[in-house]
Amino acid sequence: MKSKSAISSSLESRVVALPESRQLEILADLFERRRAKVIRVPLVSILDAPDQSSVVAWLERFMADPPDRLVILTGEGIRRLITAANRLGRQAEFVNALASVSKICRGPKPGRALKEFALKTDILAAEPTTEGVIKTLKTLDLANSRVSVQLYGEDPNLLLMDYLSQCGLESCDSVAPYIYASNCDTGKIHEVIQQMNSGAIDLIVFTSKSQIDRLFSVAKKANLQSELEKGLRKTKIAAIGPIVRDELLNHGCEVHIMPITSYFMKPLVRAAEVMYASELG
User: Which of 164, 180, 196 finishes a domain?
Assistant: 180
Same domain for 38 and 58, yes or no, is no
Same domain for 138 and 158, yes or no, is yes
Same domain for 38 and 144, yes or no, is no
Q: Where does 106-159 show beta strands of DSSP type E?
A: 123-124, 146-150
pLDDT in tens, 232-253: 999 999 999 998 999 999 999 9
Same domain for 159 and 90, yes or no, is yes
Same domain for 159 and 200, yes or no, is no
User: Which of 148, 180, 212 finishes a domain?
Assistant: 180
Same domain for 227 and 269, yes or no, is yes
- When mean pLDDT is compared across 77-81, 105-109, 190-194, the lowest value belongs to 105-109
How many helices (H) and strands (E) would you count in the chain?
A: 13, 11
pLDDT in tens, 20-55: 777 888 999 999 999 999 999 878 888 899 999 999
Q: Which of 63, 105, 101, 106 is nearest to 81 (CA)?
A: 63
- State which residues form the domain around 164: 47-180
Same domain for 173 and 214, yes or no, is no
Q: Where does 21-109 show beta strands of DSSP type E?
A: 37-40, 44-48, 69-72, 102-105
Cβ pair 212, 251 in contact under 8 A: yes
Same domain for 208 and 104, yes or no, is no
Cβ pair 74, 46 in contact under 8 A: no
Same domain for 125 and 172, yes or no, is yes
Same domain for 24 and 118, yes or no, is no
| Total domains present in the chain | 2
Statement: the pTM of the whole predicted model exceeds 0.85:
no
Residue 167 DSSP class? T
Q: Is 202 helix (H, G, I), strand (E, B) or coil?
A: coil
Same domain for 228 and 244, yes or no, is yes
**Domain at 210, CATH number:** 3.40.50.10090
pLDDT in tens, 102-138: 999 999 889 999 999 999 999 999 988 999 999 999 9
User: Which of 180, 207, 236 finishes a domain?
Assistant: 180
Cβ pair 55, 87 in contact under 8 A: no
Q: How far apart are CA 148 and CA 67, in angstroms?
A: 7
